[in-house]
Chain A
């Protein structure tokens, strides 16, 4: 029957509110807020805190109607946690900030800027680690890099037309200004800025046999994980400045893998070889968590992967569209997922 795993995922919260498929979620990096977006064109913000007995309680804080004309496909927080970006099928990127009321208290979330330029559906949006750059991508096959300027001004620094099909996702390196994108053309592209010139594609990673749906950098920045319609997750090791090599292929999912997230895992002084935990989820409804480590026995810098937790039917019969580790200190054992049932769920991983 079912294998025993070292860790178990426990449900912490089931958050309703969306009237349609919940596509994506994003944890605020500095505040107790979780954002979700949906085909219902709204964004929900959930807050959480410990009640008197030390239980973590989640509740709906606010709903932003957004004004997007179509599905809101993705959300991303700026590193400061003060700004939220939305990517919509209406081809626009929304920038949202909380207004201050007359007493200086935080009030409503308002659209501070609308970034137009993509020709068709936007699929993903991401802030760079310093918050000075924003990347967006679309079915129009392009990736745009925007500079974040004061007063919610954005200047387009580059339009990258490297992919031959829809660009499904963008992800910034955790410390450097390196951008990765995944596409319906089955490839992953990496881009950097040439100080003398424009942004350019510095590497193309091939190996997936179908659409690349999601990308996640390892916390130390030395690896990139990619989730694909080919039902696998690939882990790519950075072996040169702009050189990457596939070192792991994680199998097990029975349908498309729509989302991958790389968390710090369980930090412990004698686990300095740990690279953290990869969580994955998709059309088969499973959440899987893999422990990735560089053990001393591993050959030629190939890390090892061990499936440490697996949860079936996390959203019942429905697809899981997104899985994300909490980045906040003290909450690194929390995972959020969103599904075709319109639900957002929060899970805690604990030793079995």
Chain B
């Protein structure tokens, strides 16, 4: 069965380029990562995954992109990394839902700060979205960058709790040792579900 949808009708700001299969929220150890609200029926059946063929051009494109990235890290290259992360609840990207945008990225010499805007102030998916952003940036940016991932001030009713969790390296490390949670993050990163 399907879990509670926090925001059943989000505003989509741009139609997606290609259609995606209906997405199901994957079971995650909510006690590990989800902050609120308390829910018991998060565990659900996992849909069979459609393995997508890996495109050689994509690999080459990604490699040259990373090379270029090392040369010029700016808010535009950073937004390119996270714009196509999918929302855990909707077949839309974070960019389409205006969860992330280039002006919300701040780059210092060795620091990247990403602010994101949950679609609704009680969005229980915020920590998962933030974790997905963090994982994508950890994997893509040179290690010299320290990451700060925060929700836009005033955009979430549990702003402090969400920010604290997203920036606790020990909690992040433990979350990334949880296979169910990692799979959920992977699905957000790849758009599969």
Contact between chains at B143 and A71 (CB < 8 Å) = no
Residue in A70, A168, A255, A318 whose CB lies within 8 Å of B170: A168
Q: Mark A299-341, 1 if CB is under 8 A from B, else 0.
A: 0000000000000000001110000000000000000000000
Residues of A with C-beta under 8 A to B168: 184, 211, 229
Query: B177 to A70, Cβ gap below 8 A?
Result: yes
A139 at the interface (CB under 8 A from B): yes
Q: A283 contacts B170, CB within 8 Å?
A: no
Do B146 and A123 have beta carbons less than 8 Å apart?
Answer: no
Contact B164 A89 (CB under 8 A): no
Cα distance A139–B177 when bound, in Å? Answer: 14
Q: Which residue of B lies closest to A341 (CB)?
A: B143
List the A side residues contacting B31 at CB < 8 Å: 120
Chain B residues within an 8 Å CB radius of A70: 174, 177
- Pick from B144, B164, B173: contact of A21, CB below 8 A: B173
Nearest CB of chain A from residue B180's CB, rounded to whole Å: 14
Residue in B143, B164, B171 whose CB lies within 8 Å of A318: B143
Complex-state Cα separation, A347 to B119, whole angstroms: 49
Distance to closest chain B CB from A137 (angstroms)? 12
- Chain B 154-190 against A: per-residue CB contact (8 Å), 1 yes, 0 no? 0000000000100011110110010000000000000
Contact-residue bracket for chain B: 10 to 19
The interface residues of chain A lying within 8 Å CB-to-CB of B177 are 70-71, 89
- Name the residue among A21, A70, A121 with the largest chain B CB count within 10 angstroms: A121
In the bound assembly, the distance between CA atoms of A166 and B169 in angstroms comes to 13
When distances are taken between beta carbons in the complex, the residues of chain A under 8 Å from B146 are 255, 283, 319
Q: Is the CB of B164 within 8 A of A317?
A: no
Residue in B closest to A284 when the chains form the complex, CB atoms:
B146
A121 & B144 in contact (Cβ 8 Å cutoff): no
Separation of A319 and B144 alpha carbons in the complex (Å): 10
Contact across chains for A210 and B174 when beta carbons are under 8 A apart: no
How far apart sit A283 and B144, CA to CA, in the bound complex (Å)?
Answer: 12
CB distance from B110 to the nearest CB of A (A): 7
Q: In the complex, A21→B170 CA distance in Å?
A: 11
> In angstroms, how far is the closest chain B Cβ from the Cβ of A302?
31
Of all chain A residues, the one with the shortest Cβ separation from B31 is A120
B32 within 8 A of A: yes
Name which residue of chain B comes closest to A20, CB basis. Answer: B173
**With the chains together, A266 CA to B143 CA distance in Å?**
37
Select A317's contact among B32, B144, B169, B170, beta carbons within 8 Å: B144
Q: Which residues of A from 217 to 263 have beta carbons under 8 Å from B? A: 229, 255-256
Q: Are B143 and A89 in contact (CB under 8 A)?
A: no
Answer whether residue A39 sits at the interface, using C-beta atoms and an 8 A cutoff. Answer: yes
Known: A120-B32, A229-B168, A317-B110. 13 other contacts (CB 8 A): A21-B173, A71-B173, A71-B177, A121-B174, A139-B171, A139-B174, A168-B170, A184-B164, A211-B168, A255-B146, A256-B169, A283-B146, A283-B169
What are 8 sample pairs from A and B whose C-beta atoms fall under 8 A apart?
A: A70-B177, A121-B174, A184-B168, A229-B164, A256-B169, A283-B146, A317-B110, A319-B146
Closest 9 CB pairs of A and B: A317-B144, A70-B177, A121-B174, A89-B174, A89-B177, A317-B143, A71-B177, A71-B173, A317-B110
B residues bordering A, Cβ < 8 Å?
31-32, 110, 143-144, 146, 164, 168-171, 173-174, 177
List A residues at the B interface (Cβ < 8 Å): 21, 39, 70-71, 73, 89, 120-121, 123, 139, 166, 168, 184, 210-211, 229, 255-256, 283, 317-319
